[in-house]
């Protein structure tokens, strides 16, 4: 009963919603997770023996030149580029490229992301909330059907190509766009999902992996089920964190 009575206040109090919105965008760490996926997949290329190379790895290896070229372009443009590690360059290039993707590719990422958080183990899933480095994403992707694995790799390549081709970045959503999109998304959440998200935001410094994973699944799963325009707004906002 407490959850039901607190929900309208959460959604109607604009200052409370703005605070929640800022906390969610600062806390979630999907951009860093994508950087880990890229580095892990490229660093393990050619290390497998006596086992077929998964479709994800095959596609990533096929496009590695685009990924490194985008990283070089990003490093040259960044004043601190010369001191950045390869992982930092690839991560920066990926975030830069994601901001340039069209709605179709961002929509694919939203659905793949929601699927991934349920395939990943608890520790890996939790890292999407905490931002800790975890290399369990690639094994989770490799459990997918080959076409879905290739789609993951193609998203990374499209982000790289957007940098190479100098596709303009889409502007970051404004608070006036983000806050109502988040309110509508939270309003559709089932009580257990809303409880998991609020619990994580209230105790962000002392969460267990189960709690972090629950919050990540609640957030990303509901964004994937949200109105398409709201899902795109929230996901593009995360690209700028």
Distance separating alpha carbons of residues 126 and 149, to the nearest angstrom: 21
Measured in degrees and rounded to the nearest 5, phi and psi for residue 126 equal -60, -30
Tokens 């409880």: give the residue: 195
Tokens 């070229």: give the residue: 69
Reduced to 3 states, what is the DSSP secondary structure of residue 138?
helix
pLDDT tens digits for range 134-187: 778 888 889 999 999 999 999 999 999 999 999 999 999 999 999 999 999 999
> Given this model, what pLDDT does residue 73 score?
94
pLDDT beyond 50 at 59: yes
Radius of gyration from C-alpha coordinates of the chain: 18
pLDDT tens digits for range 4-52: 334 434 444 566 666 667 666 666 666 666 766 776 666 665 555 667 8
Q: Which two tokens stand for residue 53?
A: 């190379």
pLDDT tens digits for range 76-114: 999 888 898 887 888 888 889 999 999 999 999 999 999
Tokens 């964004």: give the residue: 223
DSSP for 44-113, please give it. Answer: TTT---SSPPPHHHHHHHHTHHHHHHHHHHHHHHSTTGGG--HHHHHHHHHHHHHTT--HHHHHHHHHHH
8 A C-beta contact, residue 3 and residue 191: yes
Measured in degrees and rounded to the nearest 5, phi and psi for residue 240 equal -105, 10
- pLDDT bucket at 234, cuts 50 / 70 / 90: very high
> Given this model, what pLDDT does residue 3 score?
35
> Given this model, what pLDDT does residue 200 score?
87
Residue 90 CA, chain-centre distance (Å), reads 15
Q: Report domain extents, the chain.
A: 15-239
pLDDT beyond 80 at 116: yes
8 A C-beta contact, residue 67 and residue 90: yes
């Amino acid at each position: 009963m407490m959850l039901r009575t607190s929900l309208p206040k959460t959604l109607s109090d604009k200052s409370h919603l703005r605070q929640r919105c800022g906390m969610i965008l600062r806390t979630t760490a999907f951009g860093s997770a994508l950087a880990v996926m890229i580095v892990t997949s490229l660093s393990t290329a050619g290390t497998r023996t006596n086992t077929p190379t998964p479709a994800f790895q095959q596609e990533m290896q096929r496009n590695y030149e685009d990924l490194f070229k985008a990283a070089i372009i990003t490093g040259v443009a960044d004043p601190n580029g010369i001191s950045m590690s390869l992982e930092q360059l690839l991560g920066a290039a990926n975030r830069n490229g994601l901001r340039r993707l069209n709605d179709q590719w961002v929509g694919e990422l939203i659905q793949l992301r929601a699927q991934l958080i349920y395939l990943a183990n608890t520790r890996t899933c939790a890292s999407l909330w905490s931002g800790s480095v975890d290399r369990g994403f690639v094994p989770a992707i490799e459990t997918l059907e080959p076409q879905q694995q290739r789609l993951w790799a193609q998203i990374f390549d499209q982000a790289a190509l957007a940098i190479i081709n100098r596709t303009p970045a889409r502007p970051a959503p404004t608070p006036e766009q983000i806050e109502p999109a988040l309110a509508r998304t939270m309003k559709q959440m089932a009580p257990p999902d809303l409880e998991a998200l609020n619990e994580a935001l209230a105790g962000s410094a002392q969460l267990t992996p189960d709690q972090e994973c629950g919050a990540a699944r609640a957030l990303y799963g509901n964004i994937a089920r949200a109105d398409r325009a709201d899902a795109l707004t929230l996901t593009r906002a995360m690209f700028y964190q």
